[in-house]
Structure 1
Amino acid sequence: MTSEHRTGRPTGPRAVLVGLPGAGKTTVGRALAARLGTDFLDTDDAVETAAGLTIAEYFRLHGEAAFRDLEHDVVTRALTEHDGVLALGGGAVLDPRTRRTLLACPVVLLEIDVAEAVDRLGGSHDRPLLAGDPRARLAGLRAEREPLYREVARIVVDAGGPADEVAARIAARVPNRIAVGTGPDSYDVVVGRGLDGAVVRAAAGARRAFLAHAPTTAGLAQRLTDAMEAAGIRVVGHELPDAERAKTIETVTACWDRLADERFGREDVVVGVGGGATTDVAGFIAATWLRGVRVVNVPTTLLGMVDAALGGKTGINTSAGKNLVGSFHPPAAVVCDLDALGSLPPVDLRAGLAEVVKCGFIADPEILRLVEADGACAATEVGSPVLRELVERAVAVKARVVGEDLREAGMREILNYGHTFAHALELVEDFTWRHGDAVAVGMVFVAELAHAAGLLDAAVADRHRQVLTALGLPTTYRGASWDQLAEAMSRDKKVRGGELRFVVLTDVGAPTVLRAPDPEHLAAAFAAVAGDDADNRP
C-alpha cells in the first residue's frame, strides 16, 4: 500500500484556546505548549503576517467584515496545518464556517471575569472593538460570544490565576497524542475524552467509511456516523456479531460482499468501533480489501485501548486456534475515548487491566506502583486521572515496542508475556474466558516458570499475585489438564521448530525468552496456578 493511502493521522492542533480578550489565550497557550512539548501559534499574529498590517490598521482600512473573512481563511489553514497549541482571536468563533470546523477539534474555553479581563488588558489601545469604554464593550462581547464559545468548546477552564497553573489544568484534560513509529506506517494513538472529532479527522479524505461495530456500541456508532456525514463522509454501517463470535471467515466474507455492493474504493476507510475482537476483524477486512485500505480503530474496551487495537495485528480465529489467520496492517489512527469506559461492566474493566499490568512488568514499573498505591482503588475508577495515566503508559509501552518491531521479528515478542498459556486456556475453554482473565493467569504461570528455572526471585513472582489479586483478577486455573493445555500451546504461533517458547522475566522490566523449558519446570508452574501452595516451589 502506498503512503498516500496511509494518510489519515488525526493531524491538527493538540488544543485550541478560545475566549474573550484578556482571558490569557496567548500567555496560557505558550505555557501549555511548553508543558506538552509542542509548538504554539497565535492566529492574531498569523493574520497580521498574512495582511502585512496590524489588526488595528486592517480594521481601519478595510473594516470588520473584510477582517473576519481574512481571519477565517487563516484560522482554517491553521486548524489543518498546525499540530501544536493554537490560540484564536476572540471573535474567530463569529464565523459559522469556523465553528463547524472547530466541532472536530479539542477546543478549550478560557473563562474570565469581565473585570479581571479589563485589568489584564490595562490601557491597551490596539483592540478596535474595545475602544471607548473597555468594560462596557467587553461585557457586550461576552453576551454576544459566550454561547458561541460554549457551542464549540469541549473543555471549560477557569482562566484565573498564574498561567502555568491554568496550563496544568488544561494539560490534564486535553487529549494526549502518542506516536507509533516514524516511517510511512506510523500513526497516532489519541487518548482522552469526547473524541468524536478525532475520529472524523482521522477519516478525513475518504469519500465513504465502512463502519463495522459491535452490537453493544450501536449508539456510539450512530453518533460517529452523524459526525462523519456532517463532514461530508458517507457512512455504510455494518453490525458485527459480538466478541469472539465476530472473528470468523463467514463474518469477513459478509463484509467483503457489502464492500463490493457499495463499490468501496482504495480512497475509502474502514472504521472499527468496539472491543478487541471488533478491531481485529475490522483491521483484517481493511488489510484484505483491494490489498489494503485505511482503517481507523475506535476501541471501546480497556483491553482494546491498551492492546488489541494497537500494533497493526489483525486476524480471525479457526478451529485450530486463536488468531492463526491474519496480517500486519497498521491503522491510520487509534482513538481511545475514555468516556466509552463508563458503560463497561466492572469485570471487563478489570480484565483490561491485566494487559496494563503486563506492560508494567515488562517495561514500566511505574504502572505497578500506581496500581499498588491505594490498593488498586483509583486504577478501577473509570473517571480517575490514575486510570487515564495507566492507559497512556500502557499505550506508550506498546507504541515504543511496536514502533521498533512492526512485524514481530524481534523485541515485539515481549508483548506476548503471559499469552502463550493464556491463548491455550482460551482455546480449551472454547473462548468462554475473558482474554484479560486468561492473561492474568498466564502471567502467574510464566512467573512461576521463570522462578522454577532459576531466573526470577520468588518475591517478584509473588508480586504478580499481589497486584493481580488487588485488581480482582484470577491467579489460578483448575479447568483442563496440563496435557490438554500443553497440546493447545503446541499450536501457538510462537512455537518454532517444535519447541515451546515463553517470554519470562529475570526481574521487573527485564524480559527474555525461555526456549524449550524443562518439563519439570513446566509441571511446577502449572501446579502453582492449579492452586498448590506457592511456598512449596521446587
Structure 2
Amino acid sequence: MKRVEKVKVELGRRSYEILVGRQLLVQIGESLATLGKGRRALVVTNPLVWDLYGSEVEKGLREAGFSWRVAILPDGEEYKTLESVQTLYDQALVAGLDRQSWIVAVGGGVVGDMAGFAAATFMRGINFVQVPTTLLAQVDSSVGGKTGVNHPKGKNLIGAFYQPRLVVSDIDSLNSLPEREWAAGLAEVVKYGMIWNEFFFEFLEQNKEGIWQRQAQPVQEMVKASCSIKAQVVSQDEQEQGLRAILNFGHTFGHGLEALGQYREWKHGEAVAVGMVMASRLAVRAGWLKEAALERLERLLTAFNLPVRAPGVDPEALWQAMLYDKKGEEGRLTFILPDRIGGVKIVKELDRQLILAAIAEVV
C-alpha cells in the first residue's frame, strides 16, 4: 500500500492535486510550502475536529515555518451562514492575510463550504486548501470547487465556484467517525460506481466487509477512486452546465426526503441512498434499467448499513418537496436515471404518475 496517492483535477491554470494517504495532517505545512506561496494561514475548523487533530496540523505548520491563526466555528448546518463568513473575514484581517496567504479548511463539508467561500471573496480571492476529515467531504464536497452558505430560503443559495490549490485527505482521520456518519459517506461512494464505473462498483461489492471495518488499504483505494471519478467529471464540466449534473444521482429524491424530515430526520447520505433506489426504480419502470441491477444496488447499500426504503413517506408530499429543490429548472425537475451499473442519463421530461408510482414502491 502506497503511503500517499495523488489524483489530478485537470482545469488548466486552476489544476490541482488531491493527496490521499495516511499521516498526512502532520505534513500539511510541507505540502503547502511546495506550492511556493506565502507563509501565513487562517485555519478554519470546528471544536470537535480541532480537539482531535489540531496538534498535528499546528505541528505541520510550525515545522514548515508558517504563522497561523485558528478560527473555530460552531459545528452544524445551521451555522453555515453569511454571519459565520463575516467572522472569518474578521479573523483573516487579524491574522494579517494578504493575497499570497492561505485559508485552510480542516473538517467536514460545512467547514469546507464556508472556508472556501471566504477564500473566494476575501481580497477577491486568496489561496485555499481543503483538508477534509469526514468520508463525505473526502469523496465529495472537498473536490470540485463548490463553496457557499445557506440562506433562510434554502441551502447553498449563496456561493461561488472556487477551486482549492490542494486537497489533503488523510484517511486516518476517518477512524474517529461515528458509524452512522461512516455509512452516510459510503452512499456517495456507491453513487460513483453507479454513475461512472461498473468496475468500481464491483470493487465495492468485493471489498464491502473490509471497507465497513475501515481497513486502511481498501479505504485508501476507495477514496482515491471516488476522487478520480469526481475529478474526471469536474474537469469536463467545472460549473455544472451539463455533465456534472450526473453527480446529483439520487439527490432530487434525497433532497426532498431531507426537506420532509426538516433536515433532522435524515442524514444527507441516508436520504441519497433511498433517493438512488427511487431513481433506479423509476428507471426500471421506464424500461431503461434491469431489475437485477436495482437488486445489486440495494444489496450493496444494505451491506453498508444504509436505508433502501422510506416507510411512512407520502408520495405526493415528497413530490411537492422535490419541486422546491434548487436543481429544478423553471418548475421542471431534472432526474439522473441509470440505464446500467456504471452509466446514467439526464432526463428532464417524465410523467408525474410514473414518478409517483416509483416512489410508492419504495415507501
Paired residue type of 2:273: A
Q: Partner residue of 1:257?
A: 90
Matched, 1:400 2:232: yes
Cα distance in 1 for residues equivalent to 2:79 and 2:317: 26
Q: CA deviation at 1:245?
A: 2.8
Q: Partner residue of 1:199?
A: 28
Q: CA deviation at 1:182?
A: 4.4
Q: CA deviation at 1:293?
A: 1.1
Q: CA deviation at 1:263?
A: 3.4
Q: CA deviation at 1:285?
A: 1.1
Q: Partner residue of 1:221?
A: 54
Q: 2:188 aligns with which of 355, 359, 374?
A: 355
Taking only aligned residues, the RMSD between alpha carbons, in angstroms, comes to 1.6
Q: CA deviation at 1:197?
A: 5.1
Cα distance in 1 for residues equivalent to 2:48 and 2:317: 34
Q: CA deviation at 1:492?
A: 2.4
**Aligned to 1:461, what secondary structure does the other structure show?**
helix
Q: Partner residue of 1:489?
A: 322
Q: Is the contact between residue 246 and residue 278 of structure 1 (CA under 8 Å) also seen in structure 2?
A: no
In structure 1, the gaps of 5 or more residues are: 1-171, 531-538
Q: CA deviation at 1:437?
A: 0.9
Q: CA deviation at 1:176?
A: 0.3
Cα distance in 2 for residues equivalent to 1:520 and 1:409: 28
Q: Partner residue of 1:185?
A: 14
Cα distance in 2 for residues equivalent to 1:485 and 1:267: 47
Paired residue type of 1:434: K
Cα distance in 1 for residues equivalent to 2:206 and 2:124: 48
Decide which structure has the larger Cα Rg and report it.
1
Q: Is the contact between residue 42 and residue 91 of structure 2 (CA under 8 Å) also seen in structure 1?
A: no
Paired residue type of 2:190: V
Q: Partner residue of 1:536?
A: none
**Aligned to 2:238, what secondary structure does the other structure show?**
coil
Q: CA deviation at 1:228?
A: 0.7
Q: Is the contact between residue 266 and residue 292 of structure 1 (CA under 8 Å) also seen in structure 2?
A: yes
In structure 2, the gaps of 5 or more residues are: none
Q: Partner residue of 1:322?
A: 155
**Aligned to 1:529, what secondary structure does the other structure show?**
coil
Greater RCO, CA 8 A, separation 6+: 2
Matched, 1:417 2:246: no
Paired residue type of 1:397: I
Instruction: Count the aligned residue pairs.
Output: 358
**Aligned to 2:361, what secondary structure does the other structure show?**
helix
Matched, 1:498 2:327: no
Cα distance in 2 for residues equivalent to 1:197 and 1:344: 19
Matched, 1:431 2:263: yes
Q: CA deviation at 1:458?
A: 1.4
Matched, 1:471 2:304: yes
Paired residue type of 1:406: E
Q: Percent identity?
A: 39
State how 1:278-289 maps to structure 2 within 5 Å: 278-289=111-122
Cα distance in 1 for residues equivalent to 2:187 and 2:308: 11
State how 1:238-317 maps to structure 2 within 5 Å: 238-317=71-150
Q: Is the contact between residue 356 and residue 367 of structure 1 (CA under 8 Å) also seen in structure 2?
A: no
Q: Is the contact between residue 240 and residue 251 of structure 1 (CA under 8 Å) also seen in structure 2?
A: yes
Q: Partner residue of 1:456?
A: 289
User: Could you list the per-position Cα deviations for residues 145-196 of structure 1 after superposition, in whole angstroms to 9, with x for gaps in the alignment?
Assistant: xxxxxxxxxxxxxxxxxxxxxxxxxxx2320010001411111000000113
**Aligned to 1:392, what secondary structure does the other structure show?**
helix
Normalised to the residue count of structure 2, the TM-score between the two structures is: 0.94
Normalised to the residue count of structure 1, the TM-score between the two structures is: 0.64
**Aligned to 1:203, what secondary structure does the other structure show?**
helix
Paired residue type of 1:462: E
User: Could you list the per-position Cα deviations for residues 411-457 of structure 1 after superposition, in whole angstroms to 9, with x for gaps in the alignment?
Assistant: 11111111111122222323222111111011011101111222211
Cα distance in 1 for residues equivalent to 2:317 and 2:168: 39
User: Could you list the per-position Cα deviations for residues 191-227 of structure 1 after superposition, in whole angstroms to 9, with x for gaps in the alignment?
Assistant: 0001135521343222311101122111312321232
Cα distance in 1 for residues equivalent to 2:41 and 2:217: 33
Q: Partner residue of 1:385?
A: 217
Q: CA deviation at 1:487?
A: 2.9
Q: CA deviation at 1:488?
A: 2.8
Q: CA deviation at 1:479?
A: 5.3
